[in-house]
């Protein structure tokens, strides 16, 4: 019998995790391990998991930490023997820019949704009308029928009012997803919110009684310990470690190679052939760990539910890292960052471009320097691509001006780095869960598997889990 062959298309962290699981996972390869080939169109593995040297330190220029309570990322780090590089976050809390000033975000929130109205009774971030809406939810909750799904914005606005939606939920949830809460699906992004709305009565009370909320679908297993962790070598070093482990296992890694076609073979030992410009690889199964529209382009002609993945939109973002003189930069007294709501006015042109500032050397002790602070600015949402129209110098200048407005004092600038991620974050809009369920069913019927941030959550742990899940499906199907 010919040796089993599996091709993984896409070398982001989902594809790398799939190849790792296919090649034996934590136990490593054995006699039944298939031949695994991973094909990535770019020169570099890892997608937005990347690092750069800024101000003499290696910094993440994509995701810089992972939710440690979810097991997928930390578990993989431990399996790779990198446990000594794990570093817990060293600060907590955050601020939001509301009513012309930075306001410390109160405790008792679930992804920005208040679960205790009393905690916000005198909070200056809300007007009297906004606080009344919270009190009303406890005493005379609005009725709302959500059915199978509703947008996060529709639920929060109906139950808690526009101010909470605009000033707390939109900056937090919208920032994580780089989307708009009036478009994002509660079922896919914030299932605890949908469940609380279905229960009726007070939304805040229902959330307070439930399990701690985290973005994306729920995971059955959660770990104790710090909320977030990173790697002292940068989270962006994980793809390199995975790539080295895969190469040592004999996985074929092909970079800078685009897959041009995915073809069924009517006869022969392998049901699939994966084409590039110069090669054809036969396969028993294929894991498609590509962005949803790319998956649709490659596999859509084989099944209508896969073609429908072309409808999944993505949001692009820019990450601008600033090294600022410590003595002349005024950060808030505590917290890991500052959120900026939509359409925030400032003295400069149009509304603010920055959606959040993150205080990197306060979050991660290994990044702290004596003479500077590291501030990372995020720009871009699903309907705001103004950052694309600015070159790097103009983008840094704009971000620095906005940071000075938000912080009061910031600078002089010592170094800067710009990273652009044109389609970094899939948008989980209404109907997304049904779209994914149908696509996965169609893929299984064909002997394909789907993995990536378009399916199980946009965070790094969810994406790693998505890759390993797809690989396990393949192994079970082939009885490897």
d(Cα 155, Cα 196) in Å, to the nearest integer? 10
pLDDT for 3: 85
pLDDT for 179: 95
d(Cα 208, Cα 383) in Å, to the nearest integer? 32
Measured in whole angstroms, how far is the alpha carbon of residue 375 from the centre of its chain?
Answer: 20
Q: Is the pLDDT of residue 220 over 80?
A: no
d(Cα 354, Cα 341) in Å, to the nearest integer? 9
Q: Is the pLDDT of residue 105 over 60?
A: yes
Q: Is the pLDDT of residue 218 over 90?
A: no
The class level of CATH for 314-426 reads alpha beta
112, 168 Cβ separation under 8 angstroms: yes
- Residue 240 main-chain phi, psi, to 5 deg: -65, -40
Q: What is the pLDDT of residues 324-351, one digit of tens each?
A: 999 999 999 999 999 999 999 999 999 9
Q: Which two tokens stand for residue 310?
A: 């072309």
Q: Is the pLDDT of residue 224 over 70?
A: no
Q: What is the pLDDT of residues 109-168, one digit of tens each?
A: 988 999 887 788 889 999 999 999 999 999 999 999 999 999 999 999 999 999 999 999
Q: Hey, which residues does 448 pair with through a beta bridge?
A: 286
Q: Residue 268 — pLDDT band, cuts 50, 70, 90?
A: confident
Share of the chain above pLDDT 70, in %: 96
* Gyration radius of the chain's alpha carbons: 23
Place of tokens 């995971």: 219
Q: What is the mean predicted confidence (pLDDT) over 287-307?
A: 98
Q: Supply the mean pLDDT for the chain.
A: 94
Q: Which two tokens stand for residue 327?
A: 């003595």
pLDDT for 215: 54
Q: Residue 475 — pLDDT band, cuts 50, 70, 90?
A: very high
Spell out the domain ranges in the chain.
Answer: 5-45+235-312+428-478, 108-209, 314-426
State the Cα torsion 330-333-337-342 to the nearest 10°: -80
pLDDT for 212: 55
Pick from 98, 71, 256: which is nearest to 170 by CA? 98
Q: Which two tokens stand for residue 183?
A: 């478009």
Helices 191-199, 152-160: inter-axial angle, 10-degree rounding: 40
Topology of domain 5-45+235-312+428-478, per CATH?
FAD/NAD(P)-binding domain (3.50.50)
Q: What is the mean predicted confidence (pLDDT) over 228-246?
A: 97
Q: What is the mean predicted confidence (pLDDT) over 356-361?
A: 97
pLDDT for 116: 83
Q: Which two tokens stand for residue 213?
A: 């909320």
pLDDT for 386: 97
Q: Is the pLDDT of residue 219 over 60?
A: no
pLDDT for 211: 59
Q: What is the pLDDT of residues 362-386, one digit of tens each?
A: 999 999 999 999 999 999 999 999 9
Q: Is the pLDDT of residue 62 over 60?
A: yes
Q: Is the pLDDT of residue 415 over 90?
A: yes
How many beta carbons lie within 10 A of that of residue 273, not counting itself?
Answer: 17
Q: Residue 477 — pLDDT band, cuts 50, 70, 90?
A: very high
Q: Is the pLDDT of residue 472 over 80?
A: yes
Pick from 130, 161, 143: which is nearest to 197 by CA? 143
Q: What is the mean predicted confidence (pLDDT) over 13-41?
A: 96
Q: Residue 176 — pLDDT band, cuts 50, 70, 90?
A: very high
pLDDT for 216: 54
pLDDT for 479: 84
Q: Is the pLDDT of residue 227 over 70?
A: yes
Share of the chain above pLDDT 90, in %: 89
Multiple choice CATH, 108-209, 1.10.3110.10, 1.10.645.10, 3.40.190.10, 1.10.10.10: 1.10.3110.10
Measured in whole angstroms, how far is the alpha carbon of residue 62 from the centre of its chain?
Answer: 10
């Amino acid at each position: 019998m010919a040796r089993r062959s599996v091709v993984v298309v896409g070398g982001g962290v989902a594809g790398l995790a799939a190849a790792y699981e296919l090649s034996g996972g934590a136990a490593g390869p054995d006699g039944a391990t298939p031949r695994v080939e991973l094909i990535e169109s770019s020169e570099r593995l890892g997608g937005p998991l990347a690092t750069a040297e800024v101000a003499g330190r290696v910094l993440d220029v994509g995701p810089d930490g992972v939710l440690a309570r979810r097991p997928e990322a930390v578990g993989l780090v431990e399996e790779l023997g990198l446990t000594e590089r794990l570093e817990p976050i060293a600060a907590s809390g955050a601020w939001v820019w509301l009513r012309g000033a930075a306001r410390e975000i109160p405790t008792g929130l679930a992804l920005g949704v208040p679960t205790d109205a009393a905690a916000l009774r005198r909070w200056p971030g809300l007007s009297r009308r906004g606080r009344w809406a919270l009190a009303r939810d406890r005493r005379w909750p609005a009725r709302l029928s959500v059915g199978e799904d509703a947008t996060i914005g529709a639920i929060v606005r109906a139950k808690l009012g526009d101010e909470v939606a605009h000033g707390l939920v939109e900056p937090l949830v919208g920032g994580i997803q780089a989307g708009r809460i009036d478009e994002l699906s509660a079922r896919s992004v914030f299932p605890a919110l949908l469940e609380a709305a279905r229960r009726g009565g007070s939304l805040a009370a229902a959330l307070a009684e439930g399990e701690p909320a985290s973005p994306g679908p729920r995971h059955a297993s959660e770990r104790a310990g710090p909320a977030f962790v990173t790697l002292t070598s940068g989270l962006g070093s994980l793809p390199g470690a995975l790539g080295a482990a895969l190469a040592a296992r004999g996985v074929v890694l092909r970079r800078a190679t685009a897959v041009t076609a995915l073809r069924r073979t009517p006869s022969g030992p392998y049901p699939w052939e994966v084409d590039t410009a110069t090669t054809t690889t036969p396969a028993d199964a294929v894991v498609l760990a590509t962005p949803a529209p790319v998956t649709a382009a490659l596999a859509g002609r084989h099944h209508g539910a896969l073609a429908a993945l072309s409808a999944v939109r993505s949001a692009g973002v820019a990450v601008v890292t600033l090294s600022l003189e410590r003595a002349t930069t005024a950060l808030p007294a505590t917290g890991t960052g500052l959120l900026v709501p939509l359409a925030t006015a400032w003295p400069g042109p149009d509304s603010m471009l920055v959606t959040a500032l993150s205080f990197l050397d306060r979050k991660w002790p290994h990044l702290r320097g004596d003479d500077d602070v590291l501030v990372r600015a995020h720009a871009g949402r699903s309907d705001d691509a103004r950052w694309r129209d600015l070159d790097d110098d103009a983008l840094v200048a704009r971000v620095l001006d906005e940071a000075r407005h938000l912080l009061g004092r910031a600078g002089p600038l010592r170094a800067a780095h710009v990273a652009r991620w044109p389609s970094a974050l899939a948008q989980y809009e209404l109907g997304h869960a049904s779209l994914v369920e149908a696509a996965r069913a169609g893929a299984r019927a064909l002997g394909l598997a789907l993995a990536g941030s378009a399916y199980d959550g946009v965070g790094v742990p969810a994406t790693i889990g998505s890759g390993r899940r797809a690989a396990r499906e393949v192994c079970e199907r082939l009885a490897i």
